[in-house]
Structures are given as C-alpha cells and as structure tokens.
Chain A
Amino acid sequence: MTRNPDRPLSPHITIWRWGPGMLVSILHRMTGGALTVAGLAVLTWWLWAIAAGQGAYDRFAAHAGEWYGLVVLVGLTWAFWQHLLSGIRHLVMDAGAGFELRINKLFAVLTIAASLFLTALSWFLALEVGQ
C-alpha cells in the first residue's frame, strides 16, 4: 500500500480526548506485545533451563530472584491479566455487545481494576501461601 505523504492522516491519539475505552484498547496492544516479546522469551528460557538441568535452572532462578527479574515477572503477571480481561472485552464487542457509552466505559474501567487486583492476588498467593 502506498500513501501520499503530502496528504494528512486521519485524527489519531494526538487530538482525541483520552477515555477508558481508548486506554484499554491501547493497553491491549501493549500488553500483547510485551507478552509476545518478554513473556514467550521468559517461558521458553524457563522450559529450556528445566530441560538443560540443575545448573541452567539455578542460573534462571538467580536472575528471576533479582530486582530486575521480579520487575519483569510482576509486569508480565499484570500484562497477562490485563490482556486476558481486555481480550474478553474484545470478544464481547466482536459479538456486537457492550457498545453503549456507559456500559463500554464501565467494562473498560473494570478490566483495569480487576487486572490490578488479580496481579496483587497472584503474588500474594505465590509469596504468602507458598511459604
């Protein structure tokens, strides 16, 4: 596809007022990208380390336990729940439902609130109950 660069682009995020629907829509893309790049890399590294044996697994676990490892793992946990919940929102909207302004806004806000809650719950269960 070719585009004449002299022609203007349609109004985009630079001029539209932000709302929950826009935020959740772009978060769905960003979390999807993060889960693809970082999530699948960590998952594959983890599986490879298990297969490679105790030494490789210890090296993985050492990185996972460092501050930057925990930042990535907590971030991925949030990205997982946010993408799952906004994905459900997209499936509902694909079915033609949930486009009324009030419901749409409420659903969008709920995905953010629930993803933060589920991230906190996941790590509470992992750290408190796991001990």
Chain B
Amino acid sequence: MSVGESSTPLGRVRGAGAAHHGGEHWLRERLTSAALLLLGVWLVASLLMLPDLDHRTVSEWLRSASGAVPMALFVIVAFVHAIDGMKVVVDDYVHDAANNLLLNGLILFAGIGGLALALFSLAKIAFGTTE
C-alpha cells in the first residue's frame, strides 16, 4: 500500500508504522468487543430467562438453532477477543523478545485449544446422542 494516496486520515497512516502492520489487531479488538457487547448481553439474558439450569433444560436450549448458533458465535468471538486482549497486556509488560514470543505463543496455543474444546462440546450437544 502506498502512502499519501488515500483521502482519509486512517488510509494515510495504515501500514506506515515501523512494523508496517498492527492496525488490524487494534481494529479487530474493537470489532470483537462490539460483537461481544451484543452476544454477552444475549448470553446473560438467556441464562436468566431459562426456566431452569438443569442438564435437560440447557441441553435442549443448546440443541436449538436459537441457542447453539449465538453460543458458537460467542465462544469464537470471546476466545479471539481474549487472545487479542492478553497480547496487549503481554506486549505492555514483557519487553524481552524471547519471553514475549514465548508468552504470546502459549496464550495463543491455550486459547485456540480452549476454543476447539468448547466448539467440539457444542457440536456434540447439538448433533450428538447425549440424552
């Protein structure tokens, strides 16, 4: 991307930093936060409006499209937002390049691992044979 052709302030600075990237991380953190504003309030409201929180009730809820689809979205967006957010904290306090890479790597691995486990569980509830 060439500098100076864009007519917007954001377009002029995008890619112009020393690392030539970074803006997309900042922007994704905010876009996922906006999505979580909706999905998080949906999750809390749904849990409060369920008649009970026993195994049968929550299983039936997460088998329905109106429960499973927003929950899958919440899980994906929450894990991505958490990984992005933890990177900001790590980058602020861990300045040694090797420790920084190690810690951000561990957070990324743990985050993607947790995301996979949560999505597998949701798929098993939605399509599986648990009674």
Contact = CB atoms under 8 A, between A and B. Distances in A.
Contacts of A53: 55, 130-131
Contact-residue bracket for chain B: 35 or more
Given A36-B85, A40-B78, A48-B117, A126 B33 contact: no
B34 A51 contact: no
Contact of A50 (B37, B62, B117): B62
Contacts of A3: 95
B contact patch SS: helix
A126 B51 CA distance: 10
Contacts, number: 85
Contacts of B30: 91, 94
Contacts of A101: none
A33 B37 CA distance: 17
A80 interface: yes
B3 interface: no
B31 to A, nearest CB: 11
A47 interface: yes
29 contacts: A3-B95, A29-B89, A32-B85, A32-B89, A35-B82, A40-B79, A40-B118, A44-B118, A44-B121, A47-B71, A47-B75, A47-B122, A48-B117, A50-B125, A50-B130, A51-B120, A51-B121, A51-B124, A51-B128, A52-B130, A53-B55, A53-B131, A54-B131, A80-B40, A84-B36, A91-B30, A91-B33, A91-B34, A125-B48
